Structure 1
Amino acid sequence: MGGGTVREAAEGRDAARAVLRGERVGIGGVRLPAQPLGWLAFDGEVRRGSAPLGSPAAGRIEVRLCHPDGRVRAAALDAPRPPLPLVAVRCADWVPAVRGRARAVLAQALADDPAGTLIGLTPLVLRLARRERGTWARDLFAAALRADDPVLAPWWRPPRPARWWRPARAGRTMTGEEPDTVLAWLRRSGDLPTRRFAAGLTLAAGAFGVRELARRAGAEQDPVTAALWTDAALAAMAADGPDGAAVDSLLAGHLPLVRAAGVTALRGAGRGTEAAAFLADRSGPVRACARWLVRQEGGDPYDHCLARVTDPGRITPYAVTALVECGRTGDGPLLHALLARGRGGDAVRAAALAGLRALELPDVALLLPLLDDPSPSVAREASLSLVPVAASLPADLLTARIAPGRPVHTRRAAHRLLHAQGGIRALRASVELLTDEDPGVRRAAAERARNLLTDPWPPALPLLDPEVGVLLDRCTGLVGENVMRNLRRALLVPDDGSGPGR
């Protein structure tokens, strides 16, 4: 559960407890939930702690709508202007009488104020649709959004006659977009389920042309919604032929899946030679599509990547990664040369280290000094490259690098390697860093110590060693009491005088 989700639920429960205490609702009083998950938590909390009969809170409409007794809930729905979020919740109620009455109230609210009801309740209704009886409201809203006036009319002013419309600005006639409709408002919602829901309805209606579909795909930052727009744009081009402007919008997309689709679409548009420009894209899938298309056009992706890496004005970290992805094992000397400072920046040096690791060319003499590199990314990549040979590295050299005076990224890199060594060295390093000044280092140390002590197999620690007992004492609280007791019995307590108990 994400932080925002937890916060919304906590706000809903807090509001419910305040209402049950009899606090006033409104300005200066209790603030009712503003988010859908808050309303769901509010409902659950009130039903668990319903106010006693006769108390001031028992008469509140919010409490009666969430009362454990279905008869009380049904009667509350007859009150004037019941809170619509709770009415929507009751539309999925398990009691048929409550459910039927709530649905009638919600349908009437939708008829009286379609725009306000749709905009205010769609996020909640979509979450209720996950319940066993919760799809009714979602289907009602979908039908309303597919209908004609008044739902699809501009919602903050009366619809103007058609003759009032002036010629559209550039792009408006091509896209068919109506930016002041309820459905357009939902498409811009910050609530992802709502945005996806509105996009699906829009696509089903066939409201947009291929250029608008591609533009929306390129601008979207939610992967699910972007995939809807992208698939629709590709389907439109497959049916009606390529469109250069649509392809350009896909190529400029925020998300890799959109750019990958744009690279693939270059072939159908007769622009396959442009794929080489995407060989060094920041996304692996996009680079893979570009390599495929370059080969389809008769070129060699490796030649393009090599030319870019050897050009000081064009080299980037992703160009180095792209070169390695072409799979030539003879590039070790070139990657080693890129490790020199000043050849392309620390990001390029880190990418070269990652490339050497991918080519399985570890050089301990080269990599060990890089643990002290001023660049965190270079030190990290060096430590990752050394992990396979960590057991052969001098422990004293690594231990010296987790000392408090060392840079944080150096301590992280050395700790990674000491943990890879396992046994007493790993536990000793993690315990030492449990009190590190950096919270990130402390968290990593605690997690690695916990993993070592809770491994299904007994940790490779010395038996009957006093130091192990001291280290285990300092790990108190990281694992459960039973786990710690078993560890001590296995490592420290003699069985019958002849060896440790197992």
Structure 2
Amino acid sequence: MLDDVLDAADPGAWTALDIAVRGWAWYAPRGLPDAAWVEDTGSGSPGGAGRGLFRSAPRRAASEHDEAAVESRLALALCHPDGRIREAALARAAARPALLPLVVVRAADWAAPVRDKARELLRTALDMGTAVSLAPLILRVGRRERGVYGVELLGEVLRRASSRGRLASLFVHSDRAVRRFAYRLACEESLLSPGRLARAAAWDDDVVVQTVCAEAALAAVREDGDGDYDEVLEPLLAARNPRARSAGVTALRRAGRAERALEFLGDRSAVVRACARYVVRQSGGEPLRRYRELCTEASDPALPPGAVIGLAECGERADAELLYPLLTHPVPAVRARAVAGLRALDVTDVVRLRPLLDDPAPAVVRETTAALLPSAVRLPEAWLTERLGAERPRHVRVAAFRLLDARGGLVRLRTAVGLLGDRDEKLRTWAARSAQAWYPAAVRADVEGRGLLERARGLTGGGC
């Protein structure tokens, strides 16, 4: 019956059941099993089966002895608001493995007698098999004030396994808290090779697992004077996630391969580029010179976009002259990074950036818009309004709206009112918010302003 009403494999289902039963007790206390029913269940008396939850259903007397029905009612008793009933139900649940998840919950109970009894049962029942299946719930309950006991007990049981094979299912578990716990345990007990840890850091999508495994893999190689850096560095340097790549790049210097850091100066991740610059500088190189060399060829299709923004990250305002030719580069990512680099250098040439608002690449238009927002008043209103036309690409229309909205005053209000009936739902919503937030301070007596406000009130339901 428990499987019919909740997902036994979902740790959140058991904690939700516990909360729901206590909330139910406020409205229907007679619907819960009472102390007499719990005692009768333990004594095996058939007379006690009719008490408690199904007291008003005599026709179901034949099913009262059904084990599934008893387990379901014991589950309710284990969540009962009365601590004495919870404690008594624990003794009856000892021989029922299906109720072990609720024993885990009760091991963090606020009532000491209930908590102590549940911990005693949990220590007796928890073996390698149940530890693996209950790990998500134990770790979830472990976040509670009194939940550390279950986490420590889980660690003890898993350490006794002392075998990577027994933990294999936890390394690929869908619950990231379980994977974090398993990998930390494996690192403490040295259950995984440095290469295996490096591969885990490279493919796992959780940043904590990436950090723990990468640091453990590199530490293991350092401790072993004859360790094979290739086994660790190659998976890290080829990883998709920047955290693992940055750890690998930083380790290049210790491994005596600082020259490879030059390959990562143009990485797509800022943290990896920063680590590469550090390694290059420590080995006597000059990252800025390398960036300038890469950005000199404005038409090179192989130019890494990361090298463009990298030039801005460590360059000077004079380096803007190297970025301007890249505004017409054939690769959209390079054009976008060139605009971002100019913004990072605090160099905004409205005349040169303005044509990029019509760029076919949305990323380029977004970066250009962000760069031009502080200078929005220098862009012609009519030119921007023309780009609000329905025939224009959506990213161009959004950019034009953002820039017109940044101008403020009646320009902002006219733009917002003109888009209140637009076919694009998001653009229409943004326009309504802009109109509602507009306040006519300096133009309160302006006829056009009053007229636009009245129109906006009518189109937005009087919200302006």
Q: What TM-score, normalized by structure 2, do the two folds share?
A: 0.80
Letter in 2 for 1:213: L
Contact 1:221 1:254 in 2 (8 A): no
Rounded Cα–Cα distance in structure 2 between residues aligned with 1:358 and 1:414 = 22
Alignment of structure 1 residues 83-482 onto 2, 5 Å: 83-110=99-126, 114-147=127-160, 151-152=161-162, 178=164, 180-181=165-166, 183-241=167-225, 243-245=228-230, 246-309=232-295, 310=297, 312-340=300-328, 343-430=329-416, 432-433=418-419, 435-442=421-428, 444-445=430-431, 452=437, 460=441, 462-463=443-444, 465-472=450-457, 474-475=459-460
State which of 2, 19, 24 in structure 2 corresponds to 1:44.
19
Instruction: State how far apart, in whole Å, the 2-side matches of 1:461 and 1:73 are.
Output: 69
- Paired with 2:343 and 2:374, the residues of 1 have a C-alpha distance of 10
**Counterparts of 2:210 and 2:402, CA distance in 1:** 38
The aligned counterpart of 1:53 is 30
Distance 2:286 2:102 in 1: 62
CA distance in 2, matches of 1:135, 1:393: 61
Q: CA deviation at 1:418?
A: 2.0
Can you give the 5+ residue segments of structure 2 that lack an aligned partner in the other structure? 32-51, 56-71
**In structure 2, distance between residues paired with 1:247 and 1:202:** 20
2:86 and 2:332 mapped to 1: Cα distance?
64
Higher relative CO (Cα under 8 Å, sequence separation at least 6) belongs to 2
Measured after TM superposition, the shift of residue 88 of structure 1 is 1.2
1:35 corresponds in structure 2 to 10
The two structures, once aligned, show a CA RMSD in angstroms of 2.8
**Structure 1 stretches of at least 4 aligned residues deviating more than 6 Å after TM superposition:** none
- Which whole-Å CA distance do the structure 2 matches of 1:433 and 1:49 have between them? 50
Looking at structure 1, the residues matched to 111 and 284 of structure 2 have their Cα atoms a distance apart, in angstroms, of: 67
Query: Cα distance 1:219–1:394, how it changes in 2: closer, same or farther (>3 A)?
Result: same
Partner Cα distance (1:43, 1:390) in 2: 57
Match of 1:362, SS?
A: coil
| Gap change, CA 1:336 and 1:49, over 3 Å in 2 | same
Aligned-partner Cα distance in 2 for 1:283–1:298: 23
Letter aligned with residue 96 of structure 1: A
Give the direction of change, closer, same or farther, for the CA distance of 1:418–1:262 in structure 2 (3 Å limit).
same
- Could you tell me the TM-score, scaled by structure 1's length? 0.75
Deviation for aligned residue 1:446: 5.7
Identity of aligned residues (%): 44
How far is the alpha carbon of 1:191 from its aligned partner? 0.8
Q: Distance in 1 between matches of 2:337 and 2:200?
A: 33
What is the letter of the counterpart of residue 128 of structure 1?
V
Q: Deviations over 1:425-459 (max 9, x none)?
A: 33443455455434443454466567x46xxxx77
Cα deviation for residue 120 of structure 1 reads 1.8
More helix by share: 2
SS in structure 2 of the partner of residue 406 of structure 1: coil
Instruction: Please tell me whether the aligned partners of residues 316 and 344 of structure 1 are also in contact (alpha carbons under 8 angstroms).
Output: no
Is contact 2:417-2:455 (8 Å) kept?
no
Q: How many residues align?
A: 415
- 2-side partners of 1:209 and 1:371: how far apart? 52
CA offsets, 1:378-413, max 9 Å, x none?
221221121111123233332332333322101211
Distance 1:85 1:294 in 2: 53
